[in-house]
A and B are shown apart, each in its own frame.
Chain A
């Protein structure tokens, strides 16, 4: 009997442990820290690096990269090519994010109830800055029982889809290697 109780207890603990929870918590925590740094009148290099981590840490770049490259092309790539692309793409996105910090500033934010499906979730928020409202949507996938973001939609414009359209138009005239070269060049440029 005692053994059964212990097993039941362990099962409950495991269930709670395995539950990835509400992805809104992740977004809220990140945003809180980010807003403090964004409000600073002077930012040190350390602050900028911290902001870069805060903005991008939530994202799974291998997912974002896979969604940004046309599916047919992505499937034909070797895993080395895919890893190379993810690395360059991550660098490019991370570097460009700190160039547009104003996009993340807000005076107030209201979070909507998250839409959670089996392995995916969406967190939407209404953000006000200088009296202007924007609608943000974070898209998450469940990876190893952790919510990992792979898209940020600002006012109906999806980051992943936007990249895909751009990459698609490049791939119409150029090869994947040329695209990789462009992304790597761009990542180094922004730096």
Chain B
């Protein structure tokens, strides 16, 4: 069934946000986190009476009759001719008293939850980078499409100008100039085809990310690909941010906490486990001659019974060597993680420096290309004015135009590169796009 076409408007913030909300991979990760929360709740609930069992029974029971055996003793035997109603119930419970062990278990689950939370954050930040790349890639493809269309138009105009000059027999213009221009039209057509392909791919990626249908329209707040406006702080500040914000470091820290709780838990298993236990049992039959014999329901016979118990228990695992081995194993894992944390922090800082230098390089290149673009703009204007006054040198105009077109292309690629360099830097710090907002110009 066809759905109604809709118009969707986005800027980079709303696009990345919407794409993350729509992304099934993010939803799957969120479920993982929910499962960890449920686990903590389950552990907490296990604290109260982890063992509580009860049973209840109804039915007919045979009566009793007195008879004298061979030795002359009077005994009670089953009397199946006198069946009567029966009711019985039994309850057992046990409450562990090792609260410390239980709390350590909760701590471990909490740390596991934290680890998953930071893992999700890490993945979300990287997916946010992917969507930023998609957004800027789309804008770049639009710019390339505009450039290609402009190139085609300009080429057509140049051809017309040379043809007019040839038809008017303007001195200095030859048929060869026109043919040279036409020979170059393949490059323009190739560029246009590439731009169209790039645009189609970028558009379909955006539509997929937003879960849009082909008949829907997507309108972006940015009509031009412009350099990002965030103020990137100096490297020292970024180092501090990394230590405070990096989800990788936080994930490692949570992992360490979980591991250390596990070590404590294994250690606790070396000691005895204390618990309170109790039971209650009640059974009653109203069959046979019990009524006549005794009205006391607590009188002992093979069916009627009332019993209960309450006590303090102690359980000790005798295979201590097995538990000790587990403790040793957990300690080794913990030491490995501690070492990893130490290296990870310096490794992440080193990577940060790489990203920072990449950012600085892209900034320098962007400034340089802006300067060159201004120069080729001026050259093109000059060549156009000269051509208006004297059309005998169309090559000069064409060369100026080609140089300007190439420079425009380079400029947009450099803007894309710069924007992505900033995005990569912020992603490495563990910041989502919304987190940059305070640093916008």
Interface residue count on the A side (C-beta < 8 Å): 12
**Interchain CB contact under 8 A, A161 and B166:** yes
The binding surface of chain A is classed by DSSP as helix
In-complex Cβ contact of B179 among A67, A156, A160 (8 A)? A156
Interface residue count on the B side (C-beta < 8 Å): 8
Q: How far is the CB of A159 from chain B (nearest CB, A)?
A: 12
B169: which A residues are within 8 A, CB to CB? Answer: 67, 70-72, 164
CA distance A156 to B168 in the complex (A): 17
CA distance A20 to B392 in the complex (A): 33
A164: which B residues are within 8 A, CB to CB? Answer: 169
Q: How far is the CB of A64 from chain B (nearest CB, A)?
A: 11
Q: Does A158 contact B (CB under 8 A)?
A: yes
**Interchain CB contact under 8 A, A156 and B167:** no
**Interchain CB contact under 8 A, B175 and A158:** yes
A-contact 0/1 string along B145-189, CB 8 Å cutoff: 000000000000000000000111100000100110010000000
CA distance A67 to B167 in the complex (A): 7
CA distance A72 to B168 in the complex (A): 11
**Interchain CB contact under 8 A, A161 and B168:** no
B179: which A residues are within 8 A, CB to CB? Answer: 156
A139: which B residues are within 8 A, CB to CB? Answer: 167
Known: A158-B175, A161-B175. A71 touches B168 (CB 8 A): yes
**Interchain CB contact under 8 A, B182 and A156:** yes
A165: which B residues are within 8 A, CB to CB? Answer: 175
CA distance A48 to B175 in the complex (A): 33
Q: How far is the CB of B259 from chain A (nearest CB, A)?
A: 73
Q: How far is the CB of A158 from chain B (nearest CB, A)?
A: 7
Given A156-B182, A161-B166, 6 other A-B residues pairs in contact with their CB atoms under 8 A? A67-B167, A71-B169, A151-B167, A156-B175, A156-B178, A160-B167
Interchain residue pairs with CB less than 8 A apart (20):
A67-B167, A67-B169, A70-B169, A71-B168, A71-B169, A72-B169, A139-B167, A151-B167, A156-B175, A156-B178, A156-B179, A156-B182, A158-B166, A158-B175, A160-B167, A161-B166, A161-B167, A161-B175, A164-B169, A165-B175
